[in-house]
């Protein structure tokens, strides 16, 4: 005859046996914005990361920034810490480092590693390179736009104060060529963001101690004038082309 204690013990054991399979069958929860459970998990992970001294300063104590970085890391299949270490803020806009964009492309599994083709004469305006890779699914060679020193000068990148195009032109050519290859053939990897090097070429930006880049009102004014000038020139060229067409 069983005692009350043994009955109670057996009952608890039975309950545990019944509950365990249900726990094992629960769907896995991924940190993200898709559902409440995923959002709560993302906030918990972000809180942990924001308390770390290993993350860049713009993420320390900032749960919101960490949550966004987690979501971005999930979308491109990268490590959250890696994303945080290579995501910069330039005039309030997020931007990747060129090295991160190259690494993300090389490790995505869809393409071979990025390689470069060189053209022109070193030190001349026609010196430049284009980035290329092989798409593994088709074996097709994909190539990015050609970047030359002449292009850098025409776009105003070369003449900017403190421009790296004058001191390390080969590296800048490779960075820009790779960034444009990713943007034209795998934009989902860059998530539509530019590189810090590209934004620095647009604005006269300096990196602060907190990891963000600061720009002056004067650099913004010059950038706006440059954009307006390019738009006016494009409109004039288009008008000339239309006039020539009608004359013919």
Give the residue from 175, 165, 73 showing the smallest Cα distance to 114.
Answer: 175
What whole-number distance in Å separates Cα of residue 69 and Cα of residue 81? 9
List pLDDT tens digits, range 130-178: 999 999 999 999 999 999 999 999 999 998 888 899 999 999 999 999 9
Token digits of residue 116: 């470069």
Which tokens belong to 158? 């070369």
How many CA atoms within 13 Å lie on the side-chain side of 112? 14
Q: What is the DSSP letter of 58?
A: G
Tokens of 99: 């090295």
At 164, is the secondary structure helix, strand, or coil? Answer: coil
pLDDT tens-digit map of 193-222:
889 888 888 755 454 555 444 545 455 455
pLDDT in tens, 35-60: 788 888 889 999 999 999 999 988 99
Asked if 66 and 46 touch (Cβ cutoff 8 Å), the reply is yes
Of 90, 89, 82, 42, which is closest to residue 66 (Cα–Cα)?
A: 42
């Amino acid at each position: 005859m069983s005692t009350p204690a043994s009955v109670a013990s057996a009952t608890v054991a039975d309950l545990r046996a019944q509950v365990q399979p249900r726990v094992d069958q629960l769907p896995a929860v991924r940190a993200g914005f898709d559902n409440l459970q995923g959002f709560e998990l993302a906030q918990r992970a972000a809180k942990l990361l924001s308390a770390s001294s290993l993350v860049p300063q713009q993420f320390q104590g900032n749960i919101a920034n960490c949550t966004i970085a987690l979501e971005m890391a999930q979308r491109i299949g990268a490590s959250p810490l890696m994303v945080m270490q290579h995501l910069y803020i330039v005039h309030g806009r997020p931007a990747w480092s060129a090295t991160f964009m190259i690494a993300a492309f090389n490790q995505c599994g869809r393409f071979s590693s990025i390689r470069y083709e060189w053209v022109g004469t070193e030190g001349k305006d026609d010196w430049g390179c284009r980035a290329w890779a092989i798409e593994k699914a088709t074996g097709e060679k994909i190539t990015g736009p050609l970047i030359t020193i002449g292009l850098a000068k025409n776009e105003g990148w070369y003449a900017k104060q403190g421009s790296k195009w004058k001191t390390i032109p080969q590296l800048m050519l490779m960075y820009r060529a790779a960034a444009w290859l990713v943007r034209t053939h795998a934009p989902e990897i860059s998530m539509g963001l530019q590189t810090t090097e590209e934004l620095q070429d647009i604005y006269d930006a300096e990196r602060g101690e907190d990891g963000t880049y600061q720009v002056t009102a004067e650099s913004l004014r010059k950038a706006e004038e440059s954009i307006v000038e390019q738009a006016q020139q494009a409109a004039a060229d288009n008008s000339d082309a239309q006039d020539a067409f009608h004359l013919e």
